[in-house]
Structure 1
């Protein structure tokens, strides 16, 4: 894959997204429609966050491509986990989501396994939603810990990946190398990432039983961090 400005559907957000991001970052007219600065900004911010982005431009939608994938299907994500029995969580310490009451954005994404469209706002927790890409080295480092969390909380917690700004083949290769099986959604255009007002990876959301974000965690997670945040924000004890 070649370096430089990405091409294809993940190249740059549309005018409405640029304006929203501009207001967030306080850059005003520099992120207005047609601005060359806006076109270059998001990839640069992704690099600054610790990830190098070069997803290429494979033809077609990743979720509709043929061939087997290691990911589980997304059936059941809009209902609470089958065996969920969660204690009352502690108040969130995330300054971006006071009280942990921010609803999941109204964004529809395809399931990586079969292309089924999932309304993210309809997801019910407890759930951990992790944004990842094959191009993001810190993401690859934390993915095994996320799979272990999924294995330790079967029936109690939804572990959901969001394959972000990526192409199908390298994403499948990473999943096969790392033994990933949890369901993933496909977000080549960064719709969900921008909807939660973030631009960089790694990023993990902790979602309660009502489908509200209790914590938005920026940075790489490990087993201990995940267990602590799941207990603190979702009231679920993770057994090693």
Structure 2
């Protein structure tokens, strides 16, 4: 009886051992590094083409002079693709320079997102993430639903060129690439942002 049981059990043990060895040798490969989350921000490719229905250029104001153009800088796009030369950006545009650690920046970002949605085709909203980490900026974009195009300026080159060190910092740029107004008043809400766009860019934002 014992010999008969041994004859039955031994093949099962050998098969089990062979199966474990095969699993170890031919099992699935270890997982590679986690894929980077897709960017929540818009593509930057269209920034060098004018909005589809730009308004007529407004009359010059006290903040605009003949030399007030965007600096000759080239910044990378958060979503990838080719870099963007600021001198090639076609306005009218509102350029918001921000960082995730800046409380007023976080407070006003939803208003800029709403502006980009309400004024689509009349002007564009562009973000410039400065002195920040990619992961922190990405989290803010995801949490706040920010979808407009985002440039990256970790070296503060744009602020140095503008001789400004404030956060947040917002530029109102006309169709000729001239900076018509620079705002450093703090967090902008919908009403104030709409008024500045109308005053300096001549764009009436629909309700």
- Normalised TM-score (structure 1): 0.68
Aligned residues between the structures: 172
Pairing partner for 1:198 from 164, 182, 185: 164
Q: Secondary structure at the match of 2:45?
A: coil
What is the rounded CA distance, in whole Å, between the counterparts of 1:192 and 1:99 in structure 2?
A: 19
3-state DSSP class of the match of 1:214? strand
Q: Tell me which residue corresponds to 2:72.
A: 106
Separation in 1 of the partners of 2:86 and 2:65? 21
Query: TM-score normalised to the size of structure 2?
Result: 0.79
Q: Deviations over 1:30-81 (max 9, x none)?
A: xxxxxxxxxxxxxxxxxxxxxxxxxxxxxxxxxxx94301101001111211
Larger Rg: 2
CA RMSD, Structure 1 to Structure 2 (Å): 1.5
**Corresponding residue for 1:132?**
98
Aligned position for 1:78: 48
Give the Å deviation of 1:101: 5.0
Give the superposition deviation at 1:100.
Answer: 7.0
Alignment of 1:224-235 (within 5 A): 224-235=191-202
* Alpha carbons 1:81, 1:158 under 8 Å: kept: yes
The 1-side partners of 2:134 and 2:44 are apart by 17
Secondary structure at 2:105's aligned position in 1? helix
Residue 238 (structure 1) aligns with: 205
Structure 1 residue 234: Cα displacement: 0.7
Does 1:187 find its partner at 2:156? no
What secondary structure, in the 3-state scheme, does the structure 2 residue paired with 1:193 have? helix
Structure 2 gaps of 5+ residues are: 1-34
Deviations for 1:130-162, whole angstroms, at most 9, x for unmatched residues? 001111110000000000000001111110000
Question: 1:90, CA displacement in angstroms?
Answer: 3.9
Out of 55, 58, 65, the residue aligned to residue 89 of structure 1 is 58
- CA deviations on 1:177-234 (whole Å, 9 max, x unpaired) are 1000000000011011111110111110000000110000112211111111111111
1:148 pairs, out of 85, 108, 114, with 114
Matched, 1:165 2:135: no
Structure 1 pair 135/100, CA: closer, same or farther in 2 (3 Å)? Answer: farther
